[in-house]
Amino acid sequence: MNPKVLIYEDNEPLRDSVVTMLEWDNSVAVVAAFTDASSVKKDVLAYTPDVIIMDIEMPHSNGVDAVKELRTVNKEVAVLMFTVFEDDENVFNAICAGANGYILKSNLELLQASILDVLNGGAPMSGTIARKVLGFIPKYETKKDPNLELLSKRENEILDFLVKGYSYKMLAAQLAISIETVRVHIKSIYRKLHVNSATEALYKVSQGK
């Protein structure tokens, strides 16, 4: 059974091309393609997809908000953000909101691989995202909230190298660990991101911000 894919993209040609590509590929099944994510919750409940491809910038809805919303009804579905620039602030926010990764519009030949990867629990991390993560997760426990998770030493190292532009292979070579270990660390980083962003949101709510 092929994984079910739900696509949200407002640019019509692009959307069509993506759908064509995926259908031609036959590794995944596109269940629906929408131009805006206003009714994302309903859609998710209706279609129960395995993977969602979410555009960041859409006219009537914001990709990041959409992720937040759909996470309230579905925590398992893998979400890939569709973006032109990987150093988009929104990508980071989307990841914090619960997205599992991102895919560059300029690298769509990797789409299938990315989908499969994310279905397998993988999580891509680029240098820019890594830099943002480092800025987001505090190094020490702050008075803000003792529940905030801190990065481990190894995770910090990995992020540092990622910021410098190292690939997973390079990382593995540098740190003398396997690529798989690298991926595991990055998954952990993602989790902490999610936790901290959730905690932060709650904290902000509780503080009345």
Partner 1 sequence: MDSFVKALGLYEKNGHLAGMGETYSNIASLYYLMGKVDDAIQYQKSSIEIREKLNDTNGLVITNLNIGQLYILKGVYPLAFNHLQQAIAYAQQVKKPKLLASAYAAMSAYYSRIKNYTEALDWQNKAINLFEESNDKQLLSRLYVSAGNLANVANDSLKSINYYNRALSLATELRNKENIGNAHEKMSTFYVSRHDYEKGYSHYKTYTIYRDSIAEKSNLAKITEIRTQYETEKKDNEITRLHTLETLKELQIDKQNAVIEGNVLEVKQKQIEIEILSKEKQLQDEELEKQSLLTKNREQQLALAEKEKQIRVNELANQKIVRNLLLGGLVLLLFSGFTFFNRFKLKRKIQQQADLLAIRNSISKNLHDEIGSTLTSINILSNVSQKAMLSQPEQAREMLTKIVGQSKAVQEKMSDIVWAIRPENEKIESLVARIREYAAHTLESQDIETIISLDETLLDNELSVETRKELLLICKEAISNIAKHAGASAVSLLFTKKDGQLEVKIADNGRWKGGSTGTGTKSMTDRATQLGGKLSILPGQDGTMILVQLPIP
| 184 binds partner 1, rule: CB under 8 A | no
Judged by beta carbon, residue 77 or residue 123, the one nearer partner 1 is 123
Judge contact between 189 and 125, C-beta under 8 A. yes
Q: Residue 129: which residues within 8 A CB-CB, separation 6 or more?
A: 86, 87, 91, 92, 95, 102, 162
- Residues 116-145: x where in contact with partner 1 by CB under 8 A, - otherwise, as a string: ----------xx------------------
| 106 binds partner 1, rule: CB under 8 A | yes
Which of 2, 12, 48, 85 is the binder for partner 1 (CB under 8 A)?
A: 85
CA distances from 138 to 79, 94, 97, 127, 209 (A): 25, 19, 18, 18, 20
| 87 binds partner 1, rule: CB under 8 A | yes
> Can you tell me which residue has the tokens 């902000």?
204
Which of 31, 116, 148, 170 is the binder for partner 1 (CB under 8 A)?
A: 170
| 163 binds partner 1, rule: CB under 8 A | yes
For the sheet with 78-83, list strands across it: 29-34, 4-8, 51-55, 78-83, 101-104
| Residues found near partner 1 in the complex (CB under 8 A) | 85, 87, 106, 126-127, 163-167, 169-170
